[in-house]
């Protein structure tokens, strides 16, 4: 995979990165298998790794740290997130106070076993959470040398606000076949020199039946996530069923290709627990897809738009 510059930063990254969170970081997912998958990603050209301090109940950074300790760090870009913390009852809560963010970064550095975080991102803040105190804290962390670049993972109006804030070097937003109406935000962020990172590029596999095929514990986790967070999108996903019937492609590969075709995207973060899926996703970065399929996906996603002449 070719590496390119991430926005206005001096980081060079491949067009897809690996998300180290969710099932992959959970203790119930066999650790040697997780470490092997992360290492396979690195051995096949992925150099951007995205995690979060609260990911996988706080276990994801520890797992990633175990792989990092066996690799040369200079070509890798390690991105993590802070601002969501685990309560004593193991629930997620937002805490963007200075005290919490400083503690957060120190703990992340310790778990990852690194001296400096390449990209530190605010994890799903609310509009109110992006205030002068938070921005000053991020600036201070950068001056201290604990973090290098600063980003934010968010959507909707929070993203609109983030795009206008010069301190953010990158934005991470949801963009996929089921969520196409963010293309103006992507264009605007790009105009302002932000690095554009995409979360959930495969739309939680909602365009096919795989989500209902349970063969592993990971599959149960994915199904529960959809039932808890994405019920309305299940019906929306039905509109894209045709992508599962394209010769030489799987639905997931087409969904990923759709995202990568947007020229403003710097990196799509892949969530996977299977090495064969990981390798297929890497191959997608160099494959060509019939433009008519991409047009059909766009037409379904933007029913009111007139077809291009």
Ligand X SMILES: NC(=O)c1ccc[n+]([C@@H]2O[C@H](COP(=O)([O-])OP(=O)(O)OC[C@H]3O[C@@H](n4cnc5c(N)ncnc54)[C@H](OP(=O)(O)O)[C@@H]3O)[C@@H](O)[C@H]2O)c1
Q: What does the binding site for ligand X look like in residue numbers (CB under 6 A)?
A: 19, 21-22, 50, 52, 81, 123-124, 153, 199-205, 218, 222, 250, 252-253, 269-274, 277, 280-281
The CB-of-271 to ligand X minimum distance in angstroms stands at 2
Exposed/middle/buried for 3, CB within 10 Å: 0-12, 13-18, 19+? middle
DSSP, res 73: S
**Residue, CB closest to ligand X:** 19
Nearer to ligand X, 190 or 199 (CB): 199
User: To the nearest whole angstrom, how small is the minimum distance from the Cβ of residue 304 to ligand X?
Assistant: 26
- Supply the minimum distance, in Å, between the C-beta of residue 149 and ligand X: 16
CA–CA separation, 207 and 242 (whole Å):
9
Q: Which helix (H) or strand (E) holds 19?
A: strand 16-19
Which stretch of DSSP H or E encloses residue 196?
strand 195-199
The β-bridge partners of 84 are 94
| Minimum distance of ligand X from residue 191's CB (angstroms) | 23
How far is the CA of 300 from the CAs of 177, 204, 221, 226, 253, in angstroms?
9, 18, 29, 22, 18
Nearer to ligand X, 195 or 201 (CB): 201
| CB of 14 closer than 8 Å to CB of 1 | yes
Q: Closer CB to ligand X, residue 191 or residue 287?
A: 287
The DSSP string of 268-295 is EEE--S-HHHHHHHHHHTT----HHHHH
Minimum distance from CB of 201 to ligand X (Å)?
5
Nearer to ligand X, 7 or 22 (CB): 22
Region class of 55: left (phi > 0), else alpha (psi between -120 and 50), else beta? beta
Residue tagged 């993972």 (tokens): 153
CB of 137 to ligand X, least distance (A): 19
By beta-carbon proximity to ligand X, the closer residue of 148 and 200 is 200
What are residue 22's phi and psi, to 5 degrees? Answer: 55, -140
Q: Which is nearer to ligand X, 41 or 109 (CB)?
A: 41
């Amino acid at each position: 995979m070719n590496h390119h510059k991430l926005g206005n930063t001096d980081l060079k990254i491949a067009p897809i990165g690996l998300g180290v969170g969710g099932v992959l970081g959970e203790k119930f997912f066999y650790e040697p298998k997780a470490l092997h998958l992360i290492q396979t990603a690195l051995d096949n050209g992925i150099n951007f790794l995205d995690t979060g301090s609260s990911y996988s109940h706080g276990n994801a950074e520890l797992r990633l740290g175990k792989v990092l300790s066996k690799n040369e760090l200079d070509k890798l870009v390690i991105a993590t997130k802070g601002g969501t913390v685990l309560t004593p009852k193991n629930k997620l809560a937002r805490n963007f106070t200075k005290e919490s963010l400083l503690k957060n970064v120190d703990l992340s550095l310790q778990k990852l076993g690194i001296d400096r975080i390449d990209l530190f991102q605010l994890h799903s803040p609310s509009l109110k959470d992006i205030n002068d105190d938070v921005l000053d804290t991020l600036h201070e962390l950068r001056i201290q040398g604990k973090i290098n670049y600063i980003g934010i993972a968010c959507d909707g109006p929070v993203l609109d606000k983030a795009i206008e804030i010069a301190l953010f070097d990158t934005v991470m937003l949801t963009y996929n076949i089921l969520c196409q109406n963010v293309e103006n935000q992507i264009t605007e962020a790009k105009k302002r020199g932000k690095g554009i990172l995409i979360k959930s590029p495969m739309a939680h596999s909602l365009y096919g039946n795989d989500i209902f095929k349970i063969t592993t514990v990971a599959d149960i986790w994915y199904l529960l996530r959809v039932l808890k967070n994405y019920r309305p999108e299940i019906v929306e996903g039905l509109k894209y069923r045709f992508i599962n019937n394209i010769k030489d492609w799987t639905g997931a590969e087409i969904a990923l290709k759709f995202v990568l075709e947007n020229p403003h995207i710097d990196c799509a973060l892949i969530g996977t627990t299977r090495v064969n899926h990981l390798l297929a996703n890497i191959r997608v970065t160099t494959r060509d897809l019939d433009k008519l399929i991409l047009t059909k996906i766009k037409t379904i996603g933007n029913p009111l738009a007139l077809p291009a002449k």
